[in-house]
Amino acid sequence: MKKIRKIVEKHFKVNLASKDRKFIHVFARGCYYKICRDVEKHSYQKIADTMGKNHATVLHGIKMVKNLTETDKELKHSYQMLLNKFNYYNKIKHEMSLTELLTAYNKLLIECDEKDILIEKLNLKIKELEKAIDTIYEYD
């Protein structure tokens, strides 16, 4: 649940332990509760214990997020983006070994380098064409 908490805090740029009652904090805590319950299948009490709350607070937070994401497109999108981040983390955690992860990372670095080289070549061609165009206009 620590990783879920980190992902939620980073996504919303808040500290879930804060007692702040601003909407963003309340919504972020509710999202944390909902992911812990729906995705990880933790009990309400176990989730509550991680936040120093009681099980009723967790239940209320989950219902609040469910209702808000059903009625507000922006909040639904924000929650979905958060869920995607968590699912991506889980995929990496469960499906890729460290060696596979490093291999994929290195392949991406190589691919980026190759694309940078291609971009440089294309920029040179563009400059050559621009010179050719300028030359044509000079003689007209």
Give residue-wise pLDDT tens across range 16-69: 998 889 999 999 999 999 999 988 899 999 999 999 999 999 999 999 999 999
Percent of the chain clearing pLDDT 70 (strictly above): 94
- Taking a C-beta distance cutoff of 8 angstroms, is the pair 92, 7 a contact? no
Which carries the bigger pLDDT value, residue 34 or residue 87? 34
Q: Structure pTM? A: 0.65
Q: Which helix (H) or strand (E) holds 70?
A: helix 55-71
Query: Residue 84's pLDDT is what?
Result: 87
12 C-beta neighbours (distance < 10 Å), count: 18
